[in-house]
Structure 1
Amino acid sequence: MPTSDVVVVMVPFVAQGHLNQLLHLSRLISTYNIPIHFISTTTHCRQARDRLHGWHAHDNFIKFHPLHDPDFTSPNPEPNTTTQFPTHLQPSFNSSLHLRHPVADIIRSLAKTSRRVVVVHDSIMSYVVQDVKFIQNAETYIFRALSVFYILCFNLIRLGKELPFTLEMKLRLPDATATVSQEFTEFLKLQYSHQTFHVGNIYDSSRVIEGKFLEYVEKDEIMGKRHWAVGPFNPVEISPDVSSSAQQDRHACLKWLDKQPEKSVIYVSFGTTTTFLECQIRELALGLEKSEQRFLWVLRDADKGDVFKKDTVRRLELPEGFECRIEGRGLVVREWAPQPEILGHFSVGGFMSHCGWNSCMEAMTGGVAIIAWPGHSDQPHNACLLVDVLGVGLLMREWACRDELVTSVMVETMVRKLMGAGEGVEIRKRATELGGELRRSLGEGGGGRKELDSLISYITR
């Protein structure tokens, strides 16, 4: 086997948002002619590739290593729970612990034929990569899959330190440890115990949006000395394929968007881990209908641990006659949709979102303002960042009211507010300006490009 200089190994966490981010980062690093090895289970390698949008993972520099799927139960999402955290995914999360030895075997094999093996692993795969510290020419970098803002809050609270924010903002923020389940908290504690030998930290973020929070992390050396914010990871310019075959294969929702006026559509989607009660789906539907606003709504239940097991997928019911009444003005999509292309489409002017970090970054990159409707984990902190810090969104409701039904009147009011005149105009303007600044940062000489160059320079030193 020929000897390589430096190779990069990606070890993503087994959930859609995490898989997606490290596959996007693989593309960025591979543009520097550095070979990438993407390691996950057979199911999750397939999931990452099948759901990829904006580019094709057929690059010779990205090699997938599909490992045997560990056995785990894959229950359906449960809407009738006291928390929105996706506890039904915990068996899948726990199964990732079984990847420790096969991952180590691949890294050892690569180390024999490379000057250096750079292992970029999700922070919650730290247990899995613990054996890397015994491989002399291998080193680890922790990928922090969430916003710097959330990570700062989470770690300051965990370390018993004061949050460096105004009292008003502190009151808006939930305890970062109280937005996940107790079982997942224990899973996180196991990961912390193996975060002791990494070289640096990588973020899907940008100093354009989180510079002051990153400076705080660096100044106090929280989580170490080296930090690279090299986002957005997602493609910032998606050039449509104009060939006839590609146009024929375009998703139906994109063809529908083509027929709508510029900035006239609000996109509605709540990611892969949100489960709504039927009564909440009804109120959301009626609110969108009464708003008289054009909308594209991706209506899917939360992912199961194995997304390819379709045997008992719940069909989410809409009010009787709803789709007939909104025909032409609204479109409901029930399958996986190409979100980056949607948010980059000329006709989309707003986004009602759960505020998962992938969705936040894709929206900010596209210059699209947000109605923030967070459900769990980092989402309420991300909503605060968008609304209170950056001013590119509106909050559907206060986190303290999270257990209350969001009524159709609330939905109608917020959609009209964001997409109409007055306050919405200024918010949409700020979102557009922020999107332009983010995209420029990744161009030649931009701050984001320099950050990525710095990372590449360090790992290839």
Structure 2
Amino acid sequence: MASDQHKDSHNKNSLEPVVVFVVPFPAQGHLNQLLQFSCLISSYGLPVHIVGFKTHIHQAKSRNFQDLNKIHFHEFPTPHFDSPPPIIPTSITKFPTHLQPSFEASKKLREPFTNLLHEFSNKVRRLVVIHDPLMSSVVQDFSTIPNAESYAFNCISPFTHFFTFWDAIGRPFQVEGMPKVIPSMEGCLSFEIMNFMAYQYELMHNRTGDLFNSCRLIEGTYIDLLNKIEMNANNKQWSIGPILPDLTTLPRASTSRHESLEWLDKQGPKSVLYISFGSSTTLTDEQIQELAMGLENSKKKFLWVLRDADKGNVFDGETRKARLPEGYQERTEGKGIVVTDWAPQLEILGHSSVGGFMSHCGWNSCMESITMGVPILAWPMHSEQPWNATLITDILEIGIQVTEQAHQMELVDSSTIEKAVNRLMVSKEGEEMRSRAEKLGKQVWQSRDEGGVSQLELNSFIAHLRR
């Protein structure tokens, strides 16, 4: 009998204490955040396994310059799905509906993921599953494994998270710190993605807690308010952002720097406006023409990343080449450059020559801009971006909207763009915004230092996993 007890004790001691499985959603803004978070957790010596289809793992790796050697990747064969070219947006919606087939295909990861969990369940004391809420259907079987627990990593801001749910459940209580204008989500989401999200959120009830890529210095009020909503009751919460890598520690993919950084080196401090609308926005040819003219007429320096939205499979064939006005690059030579491939956004925002960021306000871009101390010219396109833009402009006051909320689905003309650019880059108001953004950026970055609010939350989460 004593011998059996000794054997059981020996078996338990020989188990790996904790293994973490990370399941990202296959869209760039989501893949990127979960991969950065995985690097952060692995720096604590915890084994981290990222699970996904081969195409999307390859996508995440190819656009991340961190050292990924400590991460274990489980790349399952990608099922067939349609990967049409990006759909040109209409006045009704700018949501990238062409990505829906890849979203639906992601559900097929459930069986291989469940098999993987069972394979590991006897080798570890605790299986930890950290997943994007939009992958809840994939991870749902963790609840059948006694030593497994799950945490949702939210790729949207607590401000947006709170207000969208608060609104959906009928605004059950008064809220201090309400934005002046409640953003409209009309045209921001397709019917298909709303159904997909509803299905995923129904499967989140068994999670132990929630993680946010945000900092209490920015959104403490809204993190606390989330506790008052029934869907979050009894769940633990950690706000551990920013999860960005330190630029000084990034290994270089090659000896040569990106052309955009070389160009920025030659510009004056805070003189350049950076323009990028992320990986899920496509502009119409007409809007590209208006934006090009607005930038040219503003006579301000600019660095413009002009790409269509990703396809469902980013490695699948050619993308549309945007048509700039005739002779544009010759006329703007010395003033601005247009980049039509992938660009290192975090390094661009961290460059001393960048003084503003014209952005769609995806949460990844917002957190990068906030942390690098760069004010935002907000031009939300779809999804939750109008809410993020409201947080930036109304609550944090480190940005301005390119156009009024009511006109965001319309064509924005060159004179509106020119005025917005000058307002941010050369006015007294813009200077004050830049100063506020720089101050907030320093505070948010320092929140990750020993004793800082985000570092304490991250330490608390790691201690909770090792309990």
Normalised to the residue count of structure 1, the TM-score between the two structures is 0.95
Alignment-derived partner of residue 15 in structure 2: 3
1:451 to 432, 435, 457: 457
Pair 1:143 & 2:149 matched: no
Pair 1:328 & 2:334 matched: yes
State the number of aligned residues.
453
Alpha carbons of 1:163 and 1:236: their partners in 2 closer, same or farther (altered >3 Å)?
A: farther
Amino acid at match of 2:337: L
Amino acid at match of 2:166: L
Pair 1:267 & 2:274 matched: yes
Alignment-derived partner of residue 124 in structure 2: 114
Gaps of 5+ in 1: none
Amino acid at match of 1:47: Q
Alignment-derived partner of residue 191 in structure 1: 200
Q: Is the Cα–Cα contact under 8 Å of residues 95 and 187 in structure 2 kept in the other structure?
A: no
How far apart are the structure 2 equivalents of 1:202 and 1:352? 28
How far apart are the structure 2 equivalents of 1:178 and 1:163? 27
Q: Is the Cα–Cα contact under 8 Å of residues 254 and 342 in structure 1 kept in the other structure?
A: yes
3-state secondary structure, aligned to 2:365? helix
Alignment-derived partner of residue 225 in structure 2: 216
Alpha carbons of 1:239 and 1:37: their partners in 2 closer, same or farther (altered >3 Å)?
A: closer
Alignment-derived partner of residue 64 in structure 1: 73
RMSD: 1.8
Alignment-derived partner of residue 362 in structure 2: 356
Shift in Å, 1:131:
0.5
Shift in Å, 1:403:
2.6
Amino acid at match of 2:95: F
Gaps of 5+ in 2: 1-10
Q: Is the Cα–Cα contact under 8 Å of residues 355 and 374 in structure 2 kept in the other structure?
A: yes
Pair 1:308 & 2:315 matched: yes
3-state secondary structure, aligned to 2:347? helix
Shift in Å, 1:167:
10
3-state secondary structure, aligned to 1:306? coil
Shift in Å, 1:360:
0.2
Q: Is the Cα–Cα contact under 8 Å of residues 179 and 395 in structure 2 kept in the other structure?
A: no
Amino acid at match of 2:274: Y
Q: Is the Cα–Cα contact under 8 Å of residues 22 and 49 in structure 2 kept in the other structure?
A: yes
- Shifted more, 111-120 versus 381-390: the winner is 111-120
Q: How does 1:21-420 map to 2 (within 5 A)?
A: 21-53=33-65, 55-58=66-69, 60=70, 62-81=71-90, 82-162=92-172, 164-165=174-175, 169=179, 171-175=181-185, 179-220=188-229, 222-224=231-233, 225-239=235-249, 246=254, 248-311=255-318, 313-420=319-426
Alignment-derived partner of residue 30 in structure 2: 18
How far apart are the structure 2 equivalents of 1:136 and 1:440? 39
Q: How many percent identity over aligned positions?
A: 46
Shift in Å, 1:174:
1.3
- Deviation string 1:152-187 (CA, Å, 9 cap, x unpaired) is 012112222247457983643214x86211111110
Q: Is the Cα–Cα contact under 8 Å of residues 20 and 48 in structure 2 kept in the other structure?
A: yes
Q: Is the Cα–Cα contact under 8 Å of residues 75 and 304 in structure 1 kept in the other structure?
A: yes
Shift in Å, 1:149:
0.7
Alignment-derived partner of residue 6 in structure 2: none
Alpha carbons of 1:24 and 1:421: their partners in 2 closer, same or farther (altered >3 Å)?
A: same
Shift in Å, 1:399:
2.1
3-state secondary structure, aligned to 1:253? helix
Amino acid at match of 1:409: S
Q: Is the Cα–Cα contact under 8 Å of residues 355 and 373 in structure 1 kept in the other structure?
A: yes
Normalised to the residue count of structure 2, the TM-score between the two structures is 0.94
Larger Rg: 2
3-state secondary structure, aligned to 1:131? helix
How far apart are the structure 2 equivalents of 1:80 and 1:384? 22
- Deviation string 1:299-347 (CA, Å, 9 cap, x unpaired) is 0001100000124x11100000000011111010000000010011111
How far apart are the structure 2 equivalents of 1:45 and 1:294? 36
Structure 1 residue runs of 4 or more that deviate by more than 6 Å after TM superposition: none
- Deviation string 1:247-268 (CA, Å, 9 cap, x unpaired) is x421111111111111111100
